[in-house]
Amino acid sequence: MNWIQGLLIASIFALVVFLLRSRRSVQSQAWVKVGFLAFMFAGVYAVLRPNDTTVVAHWLGVDRGADLMLYALIVAFGFSTLNTYLRFKDLELRYARLARAIALEGAQSPE
Amino acid sequence: MTGEMSHVWIVVPAFNEAGVIGDVITDLRSIFANVVCVDDGSADDTGDVALRAGAHLVQHPVNLGQGAAIQTGVEYARSQPGAQVFVTFDADGQHRVADVVAMIGRLAAGDADIIIGTRFGPGVSRPPLLKRVVLQTAAWLSPRGRRLGLTDTNNGLRVFNKTVADRLDITMNGMSHATEFIMLIDENRWRVAEQPVEVLYTEYSSAKGQPLLNGVNIIVDGFLRGRMPR
C-alpha cells in the first residue's frame, strides 16, 4: 500500500470518529476554526508556489500536486456532507420539540 | 366497561386519515374513555373528524412524522391525572381493539413494563409473504431485538405502563421510531413481552403502509441515533 492510501483512509476514519463523537463542545468549535485558518494559509501558499505541492505529493507517493489536492478535496467534501447531515438531524429534533410544545398548548378535549 | 378502563390512554397518531379515523376512534371509544388523536399536520380534516368521534385532539402545526406524533401523544397522556396504562394504536384501522384489551390484561399481570404486538405468534394469521420476509429480516438485523427475543420489531401496537411513558423520549421523527423503541427498551432495561395480534391488511392500510425500501432508512437512522447530540 502506498503512503497516500494509508493516510487518506486514516484521515477518513479520524474524521468520522471525530464527527460522531463530537458533542459540539466549545473545544471542537475552536478546532474547526483552527483547521480553517490552517487551510487558508496552506491554500495561499499552494497558490503562490504550486510546484511545492508536487514536492509534498512525491513525499506521499503521489505523482502530481494536483492529484494530492483532489484527494484532499474528496476527504473534505465527505467531512462536510456528514457534518451537514448531523446538523440537520439535530435541527429537526429541536424543530419537532418546538412544534410539540405548540401542539400541546392548543390541545382540545372532546365536548 | 368504560369505568374500569379510565386509567388507560390510547394514543393514535394520524396523518391524512379522515376517511377511516372516525370509525377507528368510535371503535376504540366503545371500550376506552380516553383516546388522544395526534393529528400530524394533516391536509384533510382528520383532526375535526377525530374530535367529533370523541377523541382528545392534539394538532402538530406542521407534519413531523409518526415517531414525533407518538411522542406528542404520550406526553399529553402522561400529564393526565390517573393515567397508568398507555397504548399506541395505528390510525389506519389495521389493529383490533380486542387485542388491546388482551394486552392490557397481560400488562396487568405485572411481569412486564411493555407489551409489543407480534404478527408471528401462534393462532394469528400471517402477513403476506413479501411483507413477512422484510419484517423478519428487520427483526433479525436488530441485534437488540434478537437479544430481547422479539420477533416483530416494527409492530405499531404497544401497551406500556407509566414507568415507560415517563421516560419515553423518541427522537426519530419518521418511521425509524419502531427501532428506537427497541433501543430504549434495551437501554432502560424495561421488561418486555410479546403478544400475538391480528393485523388487518385492508387495501387501504396496504396502500398507506410504508414502502419496503424505507427499511434502508430505518437501518441507517438506527445506526446513527446513538451518536446524535440529545
What's the ipTM?
A: 0.81
pLDDT along chain B (230 residues), means of 10: 77 94 94 95 94 96 93 96 95 91 93 91 74 75 77 88 94 80 91 90 63 66 55
Residue B104 has a pLDDT of 95
Phi, psi of A62 (to 5 degrees): -110, 145
Judge whether B230 lies within some domain: no
Looking at residue B45, what is its pLDDT? 93
Q: CA quadruple B105, B109, B112, B118: dihedral positive or negative?
A: negative
A17–B contact, CB cutoff 8 A? no
CB contact under 8 A, A107 and B76: yes
Q: Would you list the domain boundaries of chain A?
A: 25-105
Start-to-end CA span in chain B (Å): 41
Say if B169 falls within a structural domain: yes
**Is B62 in CB contact (< 8 Å) with chain A?**
yes
Range of the domain at B126: 8-225
Q: Which CATH number is B155's domain given?
A: 3.90.550.10
One-letter amino acid identity for A53?
Answer: T
Q: A89 CB near a chain B CB, below 8 Å?
A: yes
Q: Which segments of chain B does DSSP mark as H helices, in order?
A: 18-29, 46-52, 66-78, 97-108, 129-141, 143-147, 162-167, 177-188, 203-208, 214-225
Q: What is the pLDDT of residue B230?
A: 41
Predicted confidence band of residue A13 (pLDDT cuts 50, 70, 90): confident
In order, the DSSP letters of chain A are --HHHHHHHHHHHHHHHHHHH----HHHHHHHHHHHHHHHHHHHHHHH-HHHHHHHHHHHT-S-HHHHHHHHHHHHHHHHHHHHHHHHHHHHHHHHHHHHHHHHHT-B---
Q: How far apart are CA A1 and CA A96, in angstroms?
A: 47
How many whole angstroms separate alpha carbon B153 and alpha carbon B144? 10
Whole-number percent of chain A with pLDDT over 70: 92
Chain B residues within an 8 Å CB radius of A81: none
Tens digit of pLDDT for each residue in B8-25? 999 999 999 999 999 999
* Closest CB from A93, A99, A103 relative to B171: A93
**For residues A35-39, average pLDDT:** 77
pTM of the model as a whole: 0.79
Residue-level pLDDT at A46: 79
| The three three-digit cell numbers of residue A47, written as one number | 497558490
**How buried is A4 (Cβ within 10 angstroms: 0-12 exposed, 13-18 middle, 19+ buried)?**
middle
Closest partner residue to B229 among A24, A102, A103, by Cβ?
A24
- Our CA dihedral for B218, B212, B192, B38, rounded to 10 degrees, sits at 80
Q: What is the mean pLDDT of chain A?
A: 83
Q: Looking at residues A69-81, what average pLDDT do you find?
A: 89
Size of the A and B interface in Cβ pairs below 8 Å = 60
Is B205 a member of any domain? Answer: yes
Angstroms from A57 CA to nearest CA on chain B: 35
Which residue's entry shows cell 404520550? B74
The more confidently predicted of residues B15 and A28 is B15
Residue B164 has a pLDDT of 95
Domain assignment present for residue B2? The answer is no
CA–CA separation, A16 and A83 (whole Å):
9
Give the lowest-confidence range in A24-38, A63-77, A88-102: A24-38
